[in-house]
């Protein structure tokens, strides 16, 4: 039935799913052969296997099963890879469309870090313009326009609306991120929105790309670190220009689960 709706895509999806799980199963089997239960875990799989091992002795595995291990690795990769990669791709697209902003980030990086020094998280507070550009990116990109569905556990009254227990709710980040009362001319990429008159970075708690609450993104701090380190290093080393001079790729998205820029080409020139 689902295949008739999705034109064969559902079956193919399930097959791909099995291939990924098989790949992960082999990794777990390799770990089982080489793990040293007495020593520090080498990685997440070791840590999980160690906990399984400890619980096996107590006959209390609960959710620490091998299936759960496979699914949680799958979750971490599927939630963690495309999200940061797509956000980075969106950033490059904006740099092509806003060369004057790219030039400002270049100049801040040159002044504060230089072109040869490696950038670490301890440099973050010294790069207010870059932080403002990343916050603006996460506002305007609206990476997950439909968030993740949740079910209301009890009756809720919200600003006069009654949401009965059991209702499925779908957060819409764009209703805040692109609200023109909060962000005049919301489609304009403008890092200056997030700087005070002295050029200091202002953190904006209304921008919530990682959602809120108990089920908010598990990888938020990792993702923020990744974005800062990837994007700062990319712009420290490269200048991004359109593939054909003057032909700037338009800001257009494909939206499935993620809002992802349509494929575009560009050139990365080393900044020597
Ligand atoms: C720019 C990067 C990212 C964005 C914008 C993002 C955004 C989100 C959002 C909106 C949710 C749904 C929260 C909810 O249900 O209300 C979520 C869930 C989740 N994210 Fe991320 N994410 C990013 C990167 C990552 C990374 C790097 C990881 C891990 C390596 C990760 C792991 C997860 C996991 C495991 C969940 C499910 C949490 C749960 O249901 O309890 N994410 N993320």
Q: How many CB atoms lie within 10 A of CB 146?
A: 15
Contact 100, 51 (CB under 8 A): no
Bigger pLDDT: 71 vs 257:
71
Spatial CB neighbours of 117, under 8 Å, sequence gap ≥ 6: none
Q: Which of 86, 219, 224 is the best mutation target for the ligand 1 pocket, counting ligand atoms within 8 Å of the beta carbon and taking the most?
A: 219
Q: Whole-number mean pLDDT of the chain?
A: 94
Q: How far apart are CA 92 and CA 239, in angstroms?
A: 10
- Max Cα–Cα distance, the chain, nearest Å: 67
How large a percentage of the chain has pLDDT more than 90? 88
In short, whether 83's Cβ falls inside 6 Å of ligand 1 is: yes
The pLDDT of residue 7 is 63
Instruction: Enter the pTM of the model.
Output: 0.91
Residue 5 has pLDDT above 80, yes or no: no
Phi, psi of 266 (to 5 degrees): -155, 170
ipTM greater than 0.90: yes
The pLDDT of residue 181 is 98
* CA dihedral angle for residue 259, residue 260, residue 261, residue 264, rounded to 10 degrees: -170
For ligand 1, atom 3: residue with the closest CA: 83
Report pLDDT digits (tens) over 201-251.
999 999 999 999 989 999 999 999 999 999 999 999 999 999 999 999 999
The pLDDT of residue 209 is 97
In short, whether 141's Cβ falls inside 6 Å of ligand 1 is: no
Residue 1 has pLDDT above 90, yes or no: no
In short, whether 86's Cβ falls inside 6 Å of ligand 1 is: no
Indicate which atom in ligand 1 lies nearest the CA of residue 212.
Answer: 16
In short, whether 90's Cβ falls inside 6 Å of ligand 1 is: no
The candidate with the shortest Cα–Cα distance to 248, out of 260, 268, 265, is 265
| Angle between helix 220-237 and 99-112 (nearest 10) | 90
Report pLDDT digits (tens) over 122-169.
999 999 999 999 999 999 999 999 889 999 999 999 999 999 999 999
Q: How far apart are CA 207 and CA 75, in angstroms?
A: 24
């Amino acid at each position: 039935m689902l295949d008739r709706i999705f034109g064969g895509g559902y079956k193919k999806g399930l097959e791909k799913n099995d291939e990924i799980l098989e790949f992960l199963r082999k990794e777990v089997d390799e770990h089982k052969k080489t793990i040293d239960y007495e020593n520090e875990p080498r990685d997440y799989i070791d840590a999980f296997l160690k906990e399984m091992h400890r619980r096996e002795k107590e006959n209390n595995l609960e959710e620490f099963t091998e299936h759960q291990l496979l699914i949680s690795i799958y979750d971490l990769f599927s939630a963690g890879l495309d999200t940061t990669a797509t956000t980075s791709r969106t950033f490059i697209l904006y740099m092509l469309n806003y060369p004057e902003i790219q030039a400002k980030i270049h100049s801040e990086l040159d002044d504060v870090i230089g072109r040869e020094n490696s950038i670490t998280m301890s440099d973050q507070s010294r790069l207010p313009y870059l932080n403002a550009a990343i916050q603006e990116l996460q506002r305007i990109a609206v990476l997950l326009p439909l968030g993740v569905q949740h079910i209301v556990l009890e009756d809720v009254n919200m600003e006069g609306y009654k949401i009965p227990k059991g209702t499925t709710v779908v957060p819409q980040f764009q209703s805040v991120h692109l609200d023109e009362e909060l962000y005049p001319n919301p489609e304009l990429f403008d890092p200056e929105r997030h700087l005070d008159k002295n050029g200091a970075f202002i953190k904006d708690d209304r921008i919530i790309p990682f959602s809120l609450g108990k089920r908010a993104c598990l990888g938020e701090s990792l993702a923020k670190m990744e974005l800062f380190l990837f994007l700062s290093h990319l712009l420290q080393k490269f200048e991004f220009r359109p593939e054909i001079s003057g032909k700037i790729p338009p800001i257009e998205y494909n939206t499935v689960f993620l809002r992802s820029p349509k494929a575009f080409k560009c050139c990365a020139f080393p900044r020597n």
